[in-house]
Amino acid sequence: MPADADIRANLAAVRERVHAACVAAGRASDEVEVLLATKTQPAGRIAAAVAAGARLIGENRVQELAAKDTELTALVDGLPYERHFIGHLQSNKVNQVLRYVSCVQSVDGVELADRLQRRLETLDRTLDVLVQVNTSGEASKSGVAPDEAVAVVREVAERDRLRVRGLMTVGLQSPDEAAVRASYRALRELRDRAADAAALPVLSMGMSGDLEAAVAEGATMVRVGSAVFGPRPQPA
Ligand SMILES: *Cc1c(COP(=O)(O)O)cnc(C)c1O
């Protein structure tokens, strides 16, 4: 497990990789944000990343988000950061997740969108969302099927409390780089079919192992965990 100084160095190395990938793709490096995927990381290590300049944090489980919240708030000591939800969101966790996040990246259907809409009406607020697409077709992955994605984006966009900012995918896990890139290209092409880039600017795709492929295919946000925090402990 890297120490806090290593978190800082690792974050800098990730930013350097993003920069190099942007240069290689002929893109400006400020077009791509880095979100830290902090699942399994204790609040102290997340706070170290915020102190090192991380401004976007993604959690996968509502229970974990809630459990770390008080300690994290105390440790970051007023530094600005934003939290996104990036895991599968159960409908009975909608009320709770809205206490913590400014964006749900994992909207995977109209039913979840409706639940969020109803709760947001009660709270009289809005929420940024991304529609998650299962571009790899793997049964273990959440997200709407690619052939339904455009219709789901349009339906979700009709909910006036939800601001659909773009699409998210967990790409294909494979050593075949061409296949991985194809899954990221598929997300960009779906966005282009749903709306132009000005209306749906965010493409959240790419992780520690493959962010270069995602940036080459148009990612505007990469989600990085292990490249900053080290390998996660394997579940027993
Ligand atoms: C864990 C996770 C990531 C980051 O994965 P790493 O390989 O550790 O970079 C990105 N997105 C989601 C949805 C995740 O759960």
Distance in Å, CA 38 to ligand 1 centroid: 8
In angstroms, how far is CA 41 from the centroid of its own chain? 16
The per-residue DSSP string of 22-67 comes to HHHTT--GGG-EEEEE-TT--HHHHHHHHHTT--EEEES-HHHHHH
In a domain, 234, yes or no: no
Distance from the alpha carbon of residue 46 to the mean position of ligand 1, in angstroms:
15
Quote the pLDDT of residue 3: 72
pLDDT by position in tens, the chain (length 236) = 667 889 999 999 999 999 999 999 999 989 999 999 999 999 999 999 999 999 999 999 999 999 999 999 999 989 999 999 999 999 999 999 999 999 999 999 999 999 999 999 999 999 999 999 999 888 888 999 999 999 999 999 999 999 999 999 999 999 999 999 999 999 999 999 999 989 999 999 999 999 999 999 999 999 999 999 998 877 65
Query: To test ligand 1's pocket by mutation, which of 86, 131, 207 has the most ligand atoms within 8 angstroms of CB?
Result: 207
Q: What is the pLDDT of residue 53?
A: 96
Give the separation between CA 201 and CA 32, rounded to whole angstroms: 11
Output the pLDDT for position 235.
63
- Is residue 71 one of the residues assigned to a domain? yes
* Nearest atom, ligand 1, residue 226 CA: 8
Note down the domain range covering 25.
Answer: 3-228
Tokens of 157: 């966009």
- Gap from CA of 101 to ligand 1 centroid (Å): 17
Considering the domain boundaries, does residue 236 fall inside one? Answer: no
The pLDDT of residue 4:
83
User: What is the domain-level CATH number for residue 8?
Assistant: 3.20.20.10
Give this prediction's pTM: 0.96
Contact predicate 59/87, CB 8 Å:
yes
**Residue 213: inside a domain:** yes
123: in domain:
yes
Domain count, the chain: 1
Q: What is the dihedral of CA 68, 169, 214, 178, to 10 degrees?
A: 130
The answer to whether residue 127 sits within a structural domain is yes
The continuous run of DSSP H or E covering 131 comes out as strand 127-132
> Tokens standing for 43?
């609040």
Q: How many angstroms separate the alpha carbon of residue 107 from the centre of ligand 1?
A: 17
DSSP one-letter code for 164: E
Whole-number Å distance, alpha carbon 29 to ligand 1 midpoint, is: 21
With a CB cutoff of 8 Å and minimum separation 6, the contacts of 175 are none
Question: What is the amino acid identity at position 183?
Answer: S
Question: What is the atom index within ligand 1 of the atom nearest the CA of 208?
Answer: 9
Between the CA of 139 and the centroid of ligand 1 the distance, in Å, is: 17
Atom of ligand 1 nearest to the CA of 35: 10
Look up residue 161 and give its amino acid. Answer: R
Binding pocket residue ranges, ligand 1, CB within 6 Å: 37, 39, 60, 86, 170, 207-209, 223-227
Strand pairing partners for 59?
Answer: 85
Residue with CA closest to ligand 1 atom 6: 225
